Amino acid sequence: MQVTYWAEHAWLETHVEPGVTIETADGRVTAVRKGADTPPPGAVVLRGLTLPGLANAHSHAFHRALRATVQVGSGTFWTWRETMYQTAARLTPDTYFDLARAVYAEMALAGISCVGEFHYLHHAPGGARYDEPNAMGEALIAAAAEAGIRITLLDTAYLSSGFGEPPNRHQLRFSDGTADAWAERAAALKAPAHARIGAAIHSVRAVPAAELRTVADWAAERSAPLHVHLSEQTAENDACARAHGTTPARLLADHGALGPRTTAVHATHLTDEDIALLGSTRTGTCMCPTTERDLADGIGPATRLQRAGSALSLGSDSHAVIDMFEEARAMELDERLRTRARGHWTAAALLRAATADGHAALGWPDAGEIAVGSLADLVTVALDTVRTAGPLPRLGAETAVFAATAADVRHTVVGGRHVVRDGQHTSVPDVPAALAEAVAALR
Ligand SMILES: [Zn+2]
């Protein structure tokens, strides 16, 4: 199928170009032409600023059910986690499908064309296996299809509660018992065209050191992405030091888990040596600033990591909000507060984290650019709303990153198919109602 789009303005990596014709065939870009003041006959008009589709590199879909409810009272990451476990305990393959479909539809409305789902809710309450051992993962892949977005299912090994401790009663749902059993189950997952399968190590707390290499090798054999929560909390670093006399980053390196296909999520509390290690191994970093501030994690050393050689991606993680523009500007604005200096990243660099580098971290190196051969994934931001009106169009990237919100997304195209048109989802008719019903079903 051939579709021609005309972007009133398009972001072409380095700058905003007015009047760009984007030809696509079978879901890929076949030509990009500049200098078309008016739409060519038959072209689909994208009015506003068109960017490559956004990649949400770190998601736990079910955390969306916690929105607002976890804002009552005080506490820490660890008390928040108790509430999160209670919600997890209520999910079944059917209710998780309904929730994830609605959450991924919310993502599509926010311009997200690809999600990295860090998935560890594998089994029934108490740890019993479903008849189909991958029922939960398959529900997520199906949910993404119905919501019209791509998914990398990062099937997550989660085997222990802490160093040398068995899973607690909540975590029985997460555990396959051993890394070998995890590998066998994960190997049975099938990826339809909109999906890719990757691996994840929940954290060095949750996978014993002797089993890390099994997960790393599984990903290496498949050239698949490998993600890991790294040093989100200082308590994890302290426990790792007690158990192994080293940092989580060093422990992962010693067991073959770092490298260019690996993404360290959070990477908040690192030593200088950790930063050098992640950079020199070309391990990527996924920052989740809206979650990290929500959970009082701290501010990760993203500028130093990038300078050391780590590519940056962004994720909405716990979905306190789902808005990649907010994630992008939050990374820069957190750094401004910490350093009392401005301009650590350009808007273009922040967009790159939300597009090309995010897709690469999820195993989609052929997405995230408006270029010949790329997947035809596009998002158009309105430049005529109360938030975005005023700036010159050539400042579209700055407008998108520093002023727009998810509510300013007008169109989302995935593989040459309009998933969001004029702010309306084309296959989930009432996304707010779908969210409300799916969340209510878990109370
Ligand atoms: Zn996470």
pLDDT for 250 equals 98
As a whole number of angstroms, the distance between CA 413 and CA 323 comes to 17
pLDDT for 433 equals 98
Q: Can you tell me which residue has the tokens 């409305």?
A: 109
226 falls within a domain: yes
430 falls within a domain: no
Does the structure show a pLDDT above 90 at 41? yes
Residue 187 and residue 312 in one domain = yes
The number of beta carbons lying within 10 Å of the beta carbon of residue 37 is 7
| φ and ψ at residue 179, rounded to 5 degrees | -65, -35
pLDDT for 75 equals 81
Residue 386 CA to ligand 1 center (angstroms) comes to: 33
Tokens of 116: 């990295």
388 falls within a domain: yes
231 falls within a domain: yes
Residue 295 and residue 380 in one domain = no
pLDDT for 374 equals 98
81 falls within a domain: yes
Residue 179 and residue 316 in one domain = yes
Residue 330 CA to ligand 1 center (angstroms) comes to: 17
As a whole number of angstroms, the distance between CA 442 and CA 435 comes to 11
* Owning domain of residue 392: 2-52+368-425
Residue 351 CA to ligand 1 center (angstroms) comes to: 21
List the CATH number of the domain containing 18. 2.30.40.10
Residue 67 CA to ligand 1 center (angstroms) comes to: 15
Residue 306 and residue 347 in one domain = yes
Question: How many structural domains is the chain composed of?
Answer: 2
Q: At 74, is the pLDDT very low, low, confident or very high (cuts 50, 70, 90)?
A: confident
117-156 pLDDT, tens digit each: 999 999 999 999 999 999 999 999 999 999 999 999 999 9
pLDDT for 13 equals 83
List the CATH number of the domain containing 122. 3.20.20.140
- Would residue 317 show up in a list of annotated catalytic residues for this protein? yes
As a whole number of angstroms, the distance between CA 279 and CA 224 comes to 20
42 falls within a domain: yes
Residue 44 and residue 133 in one domain = no
Does the structure show a pLDDT above 90 at 224? yes
Tokens of 354: 């939300």
Overall average pLDDT of the 10-30 stretch: 96
432 falls within a domain: no
Written as one string, the DSSP assignment of 325-374 is HHHHHHHHHHHHHHHS---SS-HHHHHHHHTHHHHHHTT-TT-SS-STTS
Residue 24 and residue 106 in one domain = no
pLDDT for 409 equals 98
- Is the torsion defined by CA of 189, 191, 194, 197 positive or negative? positive
Structure-model confidence comparison of residues 438 and 74, the more confident one: 438
Last residue of a domain, one of 323, 342, 361: 361
Residues with CB under 5 A from ligand 1 (ion): 317
Residue 378 and residue 302 in one domain = no
Residue 282 and residue 246 in one domain = yes
pLDDT for 161 equals 93
Last residue of a domain, one of 330, 345, 361: 361
Does the structure show a pLDDT above 90 at 366? yes
Which of 9, 119, 229, 266 is labelled catalytic? Answer: 266
Which of 155, 317, 323, 377 is labelled catalytic? Answer: 317
Residue 179 and residue 207 in one domain = yes
8 Å CB contact between 384 and 49: no
Residue 227 CA to ligand 1 center (angstroms) comes to: 10
As a whole number of angstroms, the distance between CA 250 and CA 312 comes to 20
Does the structure show a pLDDT above 90 at 79? no
- Would residue 98 show up in a list of annotated catalytic residues for this protein? no
Q: At 77, is the pLDDT very low, low, confident or very high (cuts 50, 70, 90)?
A: confident
173-205 pLDDT, tens digit each: 999 999 999 999 999 999 999 999 999 999 999
Residue 233 CA to ligand 1 center (angstroms) comes to: 12
As a whole number of angstroms, the distance between CA 178 and CA 158 comes to 9
Residue 171 CA to ligand 1 center (angstroms) comes to: 15
Last residue of a domain, one of 317, 339, 361: 361
96-109 pLDDT, tens digit each: 999 999 999 999 99
Residue 155 and residue 243 in one domain = yes
Residue 126 and residue 195 in one domain = yes
441 falls within a domain: no
Residue 229 and residue 332 in one domain = yes
